[in-house]
Amino acid sequence: MIVVYVITASLCLIVLFGGVYSRAALGDTVHTTDLALMEYAVYLFSPLIAALMGIVILAAAMSTTDGIFVAISTVFANDIFLKVLVKRKLVKADTATAERIALRIGRISVVVIGFIAYLIVKQPPKYLGDVLWIGVSGVAAGTVGPILYAVYAKKQAAPRAAELSMGFGLFSYLLLYFSGMEKSTMAAGAWATLIGIGTMFLFAKTLTLPKQAAANQIAAKMKIK
């Protein structure tokens, strides 16, 4: 097992230097950064091996995309519709009807998200890595604040503080990057993450807990003593 881990980790690290190898072997002949690794594979290996590598990369991309579509459809159908709208009685429906509607929402959301993705790739950014960092930075801006508070804070925060942190963090990232105030996706993500963290700690101090949660917290403290 240790040998397998060492070999796998080494191969994963080698992939990180693919651009360096491509630069050293091909120089300035590669005009598209996203194709540097494939150009290097075509240069170094036989056409059969290069084609096999291309198929593997394409299959990995398709698998990841499929997983993202399924996750997004689950968010709309299960997390938003069933666990929020139906559970809080904002949408009145029995269990069978709610599950039937959720299934329909999941199917429709896959088609809608696929169409939005198609519109995005019609005018892709200069580097595909920007798309990755847009997603990573948006998630970090909305989630790092509540996670850090949950790990390091000694007091329980009001749920509304986490919701505000997520909203402020994500909105600030979208505003910073897509308005052109910050050109770098990573820098915009860093600033927005700091805003989300600050928002979380600020509202955790100012907002009060619901009565039941506050009573549970007091009871837990008394039990510890």
Residue 219 has a pLDDT of 47
pLDDT exceeds 70 at position 15: no
Q: Tell me how far the alpha carbon of residue 71 is from its chain's centroid.
A: 11
pTM for this prediction: 0.65
Q: What secondary structure does DSSP assign to 104-123, as a single string? A: HHHHHHHHHHHHHHHHHHHS
pLDDT exceeds 50 at position 167: yes
Calculated CA dihedral for residues 107, 108, 109, 111, nearest 10 degrees? 100
Q: Is 135 helix (H, G, I), strand (E, B) or coil?
A: helix
**Rounded CA gap, 161 and 100, in Å?**
33
Residue 168 has a pLDDT of 93
141: pLDDT confidence band, cut at 50, 70 and 90?
very high
Residue 209 has a pLDDT of 66
Mean pLDDT across the stretch 9-14?
Answer: 70
Residue 197 has a pLDDT of 93
Q: Cα dist. 66→74, 105, 110, 178 in Å?
A: 12, 17, 10, 26
**Rounded CA gap, 70 and 130, in Å?**
22
Mean of pLDDT over the chain: 83
Contact 213, 162 (CB under 8 A): no
Mean pLDDT across the stretch 35-54?
Answer: 84
Residue 136 has a pLDDT of 87
Residue 54 has a pLDDT of 85
* Residue of 98 and 223 predicted with greater confidence: 98
Q: Cα dist. 172→11, 48, 157, 175 in Å?
A: 38, 47, 22, 5
Residue 223 has a pLDDT of 53
All residues at 6 or more sequence positions from 136 whose CB lies less than 8 Å from its CB, including other chains: 189
What is the share, in percent, of the chain residues with pLDDT greater than 90?
22
Contact 196, 169 (CB under 8 A): yes
pLDDT exceeds 50 at position 215: no
pLDDT exceeds 50 at position 214: no
